[in-house]
Chain A
Amino acid sequence: MKYSYYPGCTLKNKAKVLDAYARASALALGFELEEIRDWQCCGGVYPLGSDEIATKLSSVRALADARDHGRELVTLCSACHHVIKRVNDDMQNVADIRTRANNYMQLDTPYTGETNVLHFFEVLRDRVGFDALAKKVVNPLKGKKIGAYYGCLLLRPGEIMAFDDPENPRVMEDFIRALGAEPVVYPYRNECCGGYISLKEKEMATRMTDTIQESASGFGAEMLITACPLCRYNLNMTANGLPVVYFTELLAEALGVKEGIEA
Chain B
Amino acid sequence: MQEQLINRAKELLADGTVVRVLGWRRGDMDYNPEVAYFNSADELNDFVYNGFCGANLSKYMIEASKLEGRTLVFLKPCDTYSFNQLLTEHRVDRDKAYIIGVGCRGKLDIEKIKAQGITGITGITGTPDAVKVSTIYGDFDIACKDIRLERCHVCKGKEHRVYDELIGESADTRDADRMAGVEAIEAMSPEEKFAFFRAELSKCIRCNACRNVCPACSCRKCVFDSTKFDSAQKANTTSFEEKMFHIIRAFHVAGRCTDCGECSRVCPQGIPLHLFNRKFIKDINELYGDYQAGESADQRAPLVSYTFEDAEPGIVSERGSK
Q: Determine direct contact between A and B, CB below 8 Å.
A: no
